[in-house]
A and B are shown apart, each in its own frame.
Chain A
Amino acid sequence: KAGVTQTPRYLIKTRGQQVTLSCSPISGHRSVSWYQQTPGQGLQFLFEYFSETQRNKGNFPGRFSGRQFSNSRSEMNVSTLELGDSALYLCASSLFLAGVTGELFFGEGSRLTVL
């Protein structure tokens, strides 16, 4: 059974640019959650999508957005990149809402560097 796949794995952008990250969940999983991980702040919740609807949202500015497609694949977008957006972005899938099961399966992450 294939795991959670995130692309791209690494990317370098400059301030002001935008970036789109992609996540393919485990087959059959309907929920996709996105997290930002940095050494100083740890794992911070961005948002969760279930059945193409955003079900939960963290405390991030509107520059961070996401969507989920009918096949459960998800994308997140960060516009007007800032230096502080440099981080590892992790996608996690679960059968149902993460807050229901608590069992998340994480992808390897997309490491974003903003110069």
Chain B
Amino acid sequence: QKEVEQNSGPLSVPEGAIASLNCTYSDRVSQSFFWYRQYSGKSPELIMSIYSNGDKEDGRFTAQLNKASQYVSLLIRDSQPSDSATYLCAVKGSNYKLTFGKGTLLTVNP
């Protein structure tokens, strides 16, 4: 079983829609969760972190965490073409190692 799994995508949404990106993890004691964005040909950059169950909002981005279900998601409201990128979920495990999912490619169509 992969440690961090993301819906494979690609995910295509129209401009202005809500994009929903999902991630599940296997290490039950994981405490910290992160979303990185990687534009084509660029390196990943951190956009959100979440540590507690529930929602965390930052502008158009909302991270949601459900530790009981071992599930973390990222919602992007009012999606813009500039949001088109690969989104990587990262989980800090009990061994203090940061593990990344393979990423979901998001395309926002004008």
Contacts and interface: CB of A to CB of B under 8 A. Distances in A.
Interface band, chain B: 20 to 34
A99 B99 CA distance: 9
Interface string A36-49: 00000111110010
Please classify the interface of chain B as helix (H, G, I), strand (E, B), loop, or mixed, using the class held by over half of its residues.
strand
A90 B42 CA distance: 10
A45 B97 contact: yes
B32 A102 contact: yes
Contact of B95 (A56, A104, A106): A56
B90 A102 contact: yes
B23 to A, nearest CB: 12
Interface centre among B46, B92, B97, B100 (most CB of A within 10 A): B97
B99 A102 contact: no
Interface of B: 32, 34, 36, 42-46, 49, 88, 90, 92-93, 95-103
